[in-house]
């Protein structure tokens, strides 16, 4: 009997050593799952009963001798966590559903439709020729439009610092009525056309215009308004039914001059085809006057040198400088001195260039 008891103790000791049982004194509370499984597999149930080291400290496990097999249930239930691994394919459903966004990628070809509709804008470009045809059939439209815009501009300082105030005072100093705002605007807008270099030259130009137009009052030759001038300025370049007597502030005459001014100013023959607009349009009246000054007057070095008489010679020298009308040339110069005193007070009027 004693031998049997000893043999049992030896067997128990070998089992404890093989199961790597942790002494209760070191950690009597923590028992991992694998330890439980090994102990339950290798230790007979009768040896576990009453062994104090395996009593759990939790209050819900008060009778470990009767319930040790219960931990084996969690070991059987442990496979349950893999179910999420089986359920993991459920997220893959979005991956299967992911092709749905590809539908927009299939619908993406729809934007090219606007690219097919893009050819619609060229339609205005097809309508553009109509404008060109209209301009070609009414060659005066360009010059009239330009004149209307230029004369309607708000008052501003012109080139060389000339203002409407200075312009008005110069006209009044010469003994004429104050000009309208439209006249001033058109004068300022035309200065670049004449390539006026300084205030002295501007005073020379304005003086000659005041003389030729009777103080900006006349834009047509007085005589031809009351007499027949059908043969007075006739030439082979005349357009049938059109007359080319003096118009504009500079009194533009002859078909050649109308054609040259039209080509230089508007790159067309509108003034030749419709000479009446030279007097009916305020801006065109100034434009042709500035053009004539640049093309026929300031080409003289004497004029550029400030000799007022030279400008009279370039305009009407055959009568006033070399004919019997020198008194008129002298009156021009007296007018010039008054205008120059306002436009450029620091300058001295030079009379030479015509009759002296």
pLDDT of residue 7: 60
Q: How many CB atoms sit inside 10 A of residue 193's CB? A: 19
Beta bridge partners of 307: 350
pLDDT of residue 53: 44
pLDDT of residue 14: 56
- pLDDT beyond 70 at 121: no
Closest among 295, 275, 294 to 285, alpha carbons compared: 275
Mapped onto helix, strand or coil, the DSSP state of residue 220 is strand
Closest among 321, 251, 255 to 292, alpha carbons compared: 251
Query: pLDDT confidence of 1, banded at 50, 70, 90?
Result: low
- Catalytic residue selected from 212, 220, 221, 282: 212
Query: Measured between alpha carbons, how far is 86 from 48 in angstroms, rounded to an integer?
Result: 37
Average pLDDT over residues 19-24: 47
Q: Which of 31-45, 65-79, 126-140, 237-251 has the highest mean pLDDT?
A: 237-251
Per-residue pLDDT tens over the stretch 27-71: 444 444 444 444 444 444 444 444 444 444 444 444 444 444 444
Q: How large a percentage of the chain has pLDDT more than 90?
A: 54
pLDDT of residue 257: 97
Scored b (16 or more CB within 10 A) or e, 100-118 reads eeeeeeeeeeeeeeeeeee
- pLDDT beyond 90 at 91: no
Task: Tell me the two tokens of residue 18.
Answer: 């093989």
Mapped onto helix, strand or coil, the DSSP state of residue 350 is strand
- pLDDT beyond 80 at 271: yes
Higher pLDDT, 67 or 338: 338
- DSSP states of 242-310: -----BTTTTB-SHHHHHHHHHHHHSSSHHHH-TTHHHH-HHHHHHHHHHHIIIIITTSHHHHTTBHHH
- pLDDT beyond 70 at 74: no
| CATH 1.10.530.10-classified regions of the chain | 140-343
172 is catalytic: no
- Ranges of beta strands (E only) in 49-193 are none
Average pLDDT over residues 100-109: 43
Closest among 138, 191, 139 to 163, alpha carbons compared: 191
Task: Tell me the two tokens of residue 195.
Answer: 């390539």
Query: Measured between alpha carbons, how far is 319 from 33 in angstroms, rounded to an integer?
Result: 135
Query: Measured between alpha carbons, how far is 312 from 322 in angstroms, rounded to an integer?
Result: 11
C-alpha count within 13 angstroms, C-beta hemisphere, residue 133: 5
User: What architecture does CATH give domain 140-343?
Assistant: Orthogonal Bundle (1.10)
Mapped onto helix, strand or coil, the DSSP state of residue 212 is helix
User: Which sign, positive or negative, has the C-alpha torsion 226, 232, 238, 244?
Assistant: negative
Per-residue pLDDT tens over the stretch 3-19: 565 666 555 555 455 55
Per-residue pLDDT tens over the stretch 281-313: 999 999 999 999 999 999 999 999 999 999 999
Task: Tell me the two tokens of residue 62.
Answer: 């008060």
Per-residue pLDDT tens over the stretch 189-215: 999 999 999 999 999 999 999 999 999
Q: How large a percentage of the chain has pLDDT more than 70?
A: 55
- pLDDT beyond 90 at 315: yes
pLDDT of residue 296: 96
Phi first, then psi: give them for residue 354, nearest 5 degrees.
-125, -80
Per-residue pLDDT tens over the stretch 168-196: 999 999 999 999 999 999 999 999 999 99
């Amino acid at each position: 009997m004693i031998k049997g008891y000893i043999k049992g103790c030896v067997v128990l000791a070998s089992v404890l050593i093989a199961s790597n049982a942790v002494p209760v004194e070191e950690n009597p509370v923590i028992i991992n799952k694998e330890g439980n499984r090994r102990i339950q597999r290798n230790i007979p149930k009768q040896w576990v009963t009453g062994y104090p080291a395996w009593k759990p400290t939790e209050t819900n496990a008060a009778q470990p001798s009767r319930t040790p097999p219960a931990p084996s249930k969690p070991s059987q239930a442990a496979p349950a966590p893999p179910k999420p691994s089986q359920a993991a394919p459920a997220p893959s459903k979005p991956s299967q559903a992911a092709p749905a966004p590809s539908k927009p990628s299939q619908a993406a070809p729809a934007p090219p439709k606007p690219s097919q509709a893009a050819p619609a804008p060229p339609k205005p470009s097809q309508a553009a020729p109509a404008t060109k045809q209209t301009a070609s059939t009414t060659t005066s439209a360009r010059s009239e439009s330009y004149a209307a815009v230029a004369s309607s501009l708000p008052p501003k300082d012109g080139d060389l610092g000339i203002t409407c105030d200075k312009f008005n005072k110069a006209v009044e100093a010469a003994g004429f009525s104050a000009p309208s705002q439209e006249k001033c605007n058109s004068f300022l807008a035309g200065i670049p056309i004449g390539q006026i270099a300084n205030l002295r030259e501007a005073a020379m130009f304005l003086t000659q215009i005041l003389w030729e137009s009777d103080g900006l009052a006349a834009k047509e030759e007085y005589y031809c308004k009351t007499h027949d001038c059908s043969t007075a300025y006739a030439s082979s370049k005349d357009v049938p039914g059109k007359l080319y007597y003096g118009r504009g502030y500079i009194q533009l005459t002859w078909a050649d001059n109308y054609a040259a001014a039209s080509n230089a100013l508007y790159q067309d023959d509108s003034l030749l085809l419709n000479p009446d607009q030279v007097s009916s349009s305020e801006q065109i009246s100034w434009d042709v006057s500035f053009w004539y000054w640049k093309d026929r007057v300031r080409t003289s070095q004497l004029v550029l040198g400030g000799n007022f008489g030279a400008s009279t010679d370039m305009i009407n020298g055959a009568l006033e400088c070399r004919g019997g009308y020198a008194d008129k040339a002298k009156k021009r110069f007296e007018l010039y001195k008054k205008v120059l005193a306002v436009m450029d007070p620091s300058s001295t009027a030079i009379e030479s260039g015509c009759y002296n």
